[in-house]
Amino acid sequence: MSDTTISLSRWLIEQERTHGHIPGSLRLLIEQVARACKRISHAVNKGASAGIMGSAGSENIQGEVQKKLDVIANDVLLEANEWGGHLAAMASEELERIHVIPHRYPRGEYLLMFDPLDGSSNIEVNVTIGTIFSVLHLADGVSEVGPEHFLQPGRQQVAAGYCTYGPQTTLVLTLGHGVTVFTLDSSQGSFVLTQEGLRIPESTREFSINMSNLRHWAPPVQRYIDECLQGKDGPRGKDFNMRWVGSMVADVHRVLARGGVFLYPWDRREPDRAGKLRLLYEANPMALLVEQAGGMAMAGTERILDIQPTSLHQRAAVMLGSSEEVALLQKYHQEAQ
């Protein structure tokens, strides 16, 4: 490691000491999450050689079959964050109820939410997967922490980020002062700073949506995608490219890295469900990152970060990325009202 390399730990200490952007307890929390992500990354890398591929033979609260790696990643995150004294409780895609910090450990002032393994359908095919996380502050004066304390609008997140397990293990983080990227240097076993002040280009020619659901979408989404598909000859006057990895972390990472728009909209198959993705530990952390990078994140006409959650595992429609495109989508939704 050269002298100019800045590790995640050093960067976090500078955020605390020099910029006053975070208190020490939040710094420790982020370090613990990063440590857990390193352990998950090692497990993912070992794959079939460690016998951790395939189904765990159980279902989570969403009725989805859990993969062994979903369970391993969830356990790693719970274990790493339980004893440090910085948390009051955790919530996970893989747990029906919140996990309150046991009495044998000191109780902290933060709440942590996570999708331990995002993109689990891509585990078997060796395609990028990841961990998504979000941090909230527990309201003052709470003696018994309950699920209701997690039901805060996403704009109140004090930190959010994700880690991708792909060709590189990358940690993308916001503390509400822009977006910073760290890459795991596996020879050193530490995350090193690789990009600060990440910005999403305002314009793009790339969209990301599961096209197989086209016939089920609402008219504004159909209109938007139809106009993209018309390319140069249509109202947009330019050709578009399409990408769909099927792991939100990988698709959103591409949007952050080079622009684009990512959509997982409401569709008429389950009209009572807002969308497929979960608000608290998928949509909200990604929305904060995207806004902090100068993009937009909407759920139709409403900003994702302004949604008042009503339950722990609720879903949200998601349209995020380059601001010109998301603003156009918002306009089409407003016109259809």
Q: Which residues bind ligand AHG (CB under 6 A)?
A: 64, 93, 115, 118-120, 210, 246-248, 264, 276
Give yes or no for a contact between 192 and 12, defined as CB atoms under 8 angstroms apart: no
Tokens read off for 197: 């002040």
Q: For residues 104 and 269, which CB has a smaller minimum distance to ligand AHG in the complex?
A: 269
Q: For residues 129 and 329, which CB has a smaller minimum distance to ligand AHG in the complex?
A: 129
Residues 6 or more apart whose Cβ sits within 8 Å of residue 204: 259, 260, 261, 321, 322, 324, 325
Q: Out of ligand AHG, Mn ion, none, which partner does residue 300 contact, by CB within 5 to 8 A per kind? A: none
Give yes or no for a contact between 336 and 272, defined as CB atoms under 8 angstroms apart: no
Q: For residues 143 and 212, which CB has a smaller minimum distance to ligand AHG in the complex?
A: 212
Q: For residues 108 and 321, which CB has a smaller minimum distance to Mn ion in the complex?
A: 321
116: left (phi over 0), alpha (psi -120 to 50) or beta: alpha
Could you tell me the smallest distance in angstroms from the CB atom of residue 135 to ligand AHG?
19
Could you tell me the smallest distance in angstroms from the CB atom of residue 281 to Mn ion?
8
Q: For residues 108 and 161, which CB has a smaller minimum distance to ligand AHG in the complex?
A: 161
Q: For residues 190 and 208, which CB has a smaller minimum distance to Mn ion in the complex?
A: 208
215: left (phi over 0), alpha (psi -120 to 50) or beta: alpha
Q: Out of ligand AHG, Mn ion, none, which partner does residue 246 contact, by CB within 5 to 8 A per kind? A: ligand AHG
Which residue's beta carbon is nearest to the bound ligand AHG? 248
Could you tell me the smallest distance in angstroms from the CB atom of residue 93 to ligand AHG?
6
Among positive and negative, which fits the CA dihedral 121, 126, 128, 130? positive
Q: Out of ligand AHG, Mn ion, none, which partner does residue 55 contact, by CB within 5 to 8 A per kind? A: none
Q: Out of ligand AHG, Mn ion, none, which partner does residue 170 contact, by CB within 5 to 8 A per kind? A: none
Could you tell me the smallest distance in angstroms from the CB atom of residue 172 to ligand AHG?
15
Nearest by Cα to 166 from 40, 56, 80, 78: 40
Which helix (H) or strand (E) is 233 found in, with range? none
The string of DSSP letters for 10-79 reads: HHHHHHHHTS--S-HHHHHHHHHHHHHHHHHHHHHHHGGGGT--SEEEEE-TTSPEEEHHHHHHHHHHHH
Could you tell me the smallest distance in angstroms from the CB atom of residue 119 to ligand AHG?
4
- Positions touching Mn ion (CB under 5 A) are 93, 115, 117-118
Taken as a whole, the chain contains a residue count of: 337
Could you tell me the smallest distance in angstroms from the CB atom of residue 118 to ligand AHG?
4
